[in-house]
Chains A and B, each alone.
Chain A
Amino acid sequence: MNSAQLISLLIQASYFVAAVLLIMGIKRMSSPVTARSGIQWAGVGVLVAVIATFFHSGMHHVVLMLAAIIASTALAWYSGKKVAMTDMPQMVALYNGMGGGSAAAIGASALLAFASMPTASFVPNQPHVNQSQLILAVLGALIGSISFTGSLIAFAKLQGWMDKTFRFPGQQVVNGLCFLAAVAFGAMVVLHLQTQYIVLFFAAALLFGILMTLPIGGADMPVVISLYNAFTGLAVGFEGYVQQNVALIIAGTVVGAAGTLLTRLMAKAMNRSISNVLFSNFGGGGASAAEIKGSMKPIDADDAASLLYLAEKIIIVPGYGMAVAQAQHKIWELSQQLIKRDKDVKFAIHPVAGRMPGHMNVLLAEAGVPYDLIADMDDINPEFPNCDVAIVIGANDVVNPVAKTDKSSPIYGMPILDVAKAKQVIVIKRGKGTGFAGIENALFYQDNCKMLYADGQEAANKLIAGLKAVDGGSGH
């Protein structure tokens, strides 16, 4: 064995080790106890594979490569460290989009190489274009491009750089035509392998990613980000096949499958199909058909504090409004004050509260709430009838009882938290507006519901002050 063969063997061995570490890493991330070590294992896996790749035979442009890696790593590292926990979902969208773009770039590079064959060959000793590699290069590039521009739009929307929804008449027809154009140009690339088709193919695919994401409303973003995450994984797997790199095939396909399952779990939690999220006009303008009787009854913080003081069992329901107000720390402070006074306090989390599945859990964990005080919807719903006071902070559609009663409502059938069954409900809300779905909330009009109009932090502060005023802050 000569030294070139030995190096090649070592590179292959490194990729194998990387693949094992990545799978073990994801496995460890699926339990709270081992989760932290999981990301570190996966991190070592990628690092090993990256270092090994530098020793790949016939590598050119190494200086440019290093410059690109260092510049991008520095930027991403800095932005990732600096971003507030509430803004995590859009950062995940952004980094995911970058991965999709990278996979699309690999596809573009491979297609250009194929187009100029036999002078350039991706696989040694194989001067002819391999049809299966060509097809998967096109497929991976299509999916990667959609994930790239789609994720960037999702990022821009969540960052508040863009209107939540953007719609025009006949939009679905235009989107459909754009997708068909991308597929048709992709087929032309496979059949003819000419540069102009490659350019048209990428233009259509990138445009479709934008068009597809524009009409999707903020409430549906968790599902969309998760879907694009799966897309990027799949694209990486396909481009891995093009490059005959098993580590990419395995890691990409594992993420593709895991991401698809995660997306389905989330869509199921909203009682909707993935196609319904992508192609329906849910989330804007659609007023509920049924008129709601009654009025919203305001309450001031001192009266609300007295209600809490007299209660024994309290359930707190946070939503995205809490994240926007950065109120999670104050809410935990309030909870600690209540626990000090022997109250039974629990947090109830709807599966799609926030902007990512489990987003609320992350924010509460950041504030220091132990995860065993946090309950899932199925576990907590039977407890609401025995609950003296339920505090809803920044949640709206996920506690709206019309999801169970009003068949004409767009959210009919979505599983909700049964807050309406609590003896008393206090809703902390900035104003009288509707939720992301644009639907009036029947809960707010119920007799047992009082509205505390305030910013989340301010409301929590006042409630803490109110509690201390009742018993002099002694906790007894």
Chain B
Amino acid sequence: MIDGFLALYLFMLAAFTGHEIISRVPVILHTPLMSGSNFVHGIVLVGAMVALGEATTPLQMWIGAIGVFLGAGNAAGGYVVTERMLEMFKSSKKPGSTSQGAK
């Protein structure tokens, strides 16, 4: 059981981690990173699966199923759009792309 101050420390350390990771990011990555962090909270699917798996009443079962449906959409959709965005990032130093050098 994670409880009391142990839980508080966990939340605190995770919050600092999130803050640190983002604070040095160039503006050009803000959108993909927002999309990427949107995918990361798609891990909520795991929680919804447990909620559905442990459901004991029909109401809980349907709420759990909705949760799983929504969570899977968050994870799958978040992954696809983030990957599509990041696929496009290239620098002009790479061969194949036109750059200032193409005079």
Contacts and interface: CB of A to CB of B under 8 A. Distances in A.
- Whether chains A and B associate is yes
Interface of A: 15, 18, 22-23, 25-27, 29-32, 35-36, 38-40, 42-43, 45-46, 49-50, 53-54, 56, 58-62, 64-65, 68-69, 71-73, 75-77, 79-81, 83, 85, 88, 91-92, 94-96, 98-99, 101-106, 108-110, 112-113, 116, 119-120, 122-123, 126, 130, 132, 148, 225-226, 229, 232-233, 236-237, 239-241, 243-259, 261-262, 265-266, 336, 339-340, 342, 349, 351, 356-359, 361-362, 365-366, 368, 370-374, 376
Given A358-B28, A358-B29, A92 B88 contact: no
Residue of B25, B39, B102 with highest tally of chain A CB at under 10 A: B39
A261 B43 contact: no
Given A83-B81, A370-B98, 18 more contacts: A31-B29, A38-B86, A42-B39, A46-B40, A77-B80, A80-B80, A80-B84, A81-B80, A81-B84, A95-B38, A123-B1, A233-B41, A243-B47, A246-B10, A249-B7, A257-B14, A257-B16, A258-B19
A376 B4 CA distance: 44
A32 B63 contact: no
B28 A361 contact: yes
Given A80-B77, A243-B50, A371-B91, A109 B64 contact: yes
Interface of B: 1-4, 7, 10-11, 14-19, 21-57, 59-61, 63-93, 97-100, 102-103
B15 to A, nearest CB: 4
Contact of A365 (B52, B56, B64, B90): B90
Given A132-B3, A358-B27, A71 B37 contact: no
A59 B85 CA distance: 36
A358 B30 contact: yes
Contacts of B57: 112, 116
Contacts of B75: 46, 50, 73, 76
